[in-house]
Chains A and B, each alone.
Chain A
């Protein structure tokens, strides 16, 4: 079955540091890939997505590139802010004909210190 593996947290950084959160996946077919962010006390929000190989999703300074050859979708940001402190979830959704139920990683907590 499909699976998503994220690096374990918490990831602790100083403000303006470079961020990478690793995500790898296994899936049949050609899934779409997503990053969601969850702030304390809230639900998940879509951060960015990519629907095919070599696509780059980007939003709010975050980027992730769909790498089919390495089955990865690592999240990056060049300069993090305290307000980026949250839990980040990598997820995939099967292509047409697949399950409508997405697969989520366990989440990676990011803590950014001033």
Chain B
């Protein structure tokens, strides 16, 4: 009964390096969402994707951040030239292709920037 799988669970990078976060949605789910969560704060929506398409990236910074959900393989959130302020927990969620469906979340990737 595989849920949403995120890896790695913890990722440490030095300033200027690249971070790649992976997310495999639940079986049968075609919608993927990425969120960022800072300590003591709520979830901040970043990007919403379907297979091979970015549907809404209004919450993602214009520079250094990109996301993809290829036809084969997991969804990837990529952060280039990381800075200290990128340290956060990044969560992926997936849902079915229907309105009003609940989201199923992974356990997140904790990104720490040295």
Q: Main SS of the interface on chain A?
A: loop
Chain B contact residues, CB within 8 Å of chain A? 4, 6, 31, 33, 41-43, 45, 48, 55-56, 91, 93, 95, 99-108
Smallest beta-carbon distance B61→chain A, Å: 17
Chain A contact residues, CB within 8 Å of chain B? 31-32, 34, 36, 41-46, 49, 51, 89, 93-102, 104-107
Smallest beta-carbon distance A64→chain B, Å: 14
Which A residues are in CB contact (< 8 Å) with B31?
100
A34 to B93, CA, bound (A): 15
**Other contacts beyond A43-B105, A94-B99, A107-B42: 5, CB < 8 A:** A43-B106, A44-B103, A94-B100, A101-B45, A107-B43
In this complex, what residue of A is CB-closest to B3? A43
Which B residues are in CB contact (< 8 Å) with A46?
102-104
Which B residues are in CB contact (< 8 Å) with A97?
99
Pair A43/B100 contact, Cβ less than 8 Å: no
In this complex, what residue of B is CB-closest to A92? B100
Smallest beta-carbon distance A86→chain B, Å: 13
Q: If A43-B91, A44-B91, A101-B56 touch, does A89 touch B102 (CB 8 Å cutoff)?
A: no
Which B residues are in CB contact (< 8 Å) with A99?
56
Which B residues are in CB contact (< 8 Å) with A102?
103
Say which residue of A41, A94, A101, A104 sits within 8 Å of B42 (CB atoms). A104
Pair A93/B100 contact, Cβ less than 8 Å: yes
Say which residue of A41, A49, A94, A105 sits within 8 Å of B102 (CB atoms). A49
Smallest beta-carbon distance B8→chain A, Å: 14
Smallest beta-carbon distance A35→chain B, Å: 10
Say which residue of B4, B48, B55 sits within 8 Å of A43 (CB atoms). B4
A32 to B100, CA, bound (A): 6
Q: If A89-B42, A104-B43, A107-B42 touch, does A41 touch B99 (CB 8 Å cutoff)?
A: no
A105 to B102, CA, bound (A): 15
A89 to B4, CA, bound (A): 19
Pair A100/B42 contact, Cβ less than 8 Å: no
Q: If A100-B48, A105-B42 touch, does A43 touch B107 (CB 8 Å cutoff)?
A: yes
A84 to B102, CA, bound (A): 21
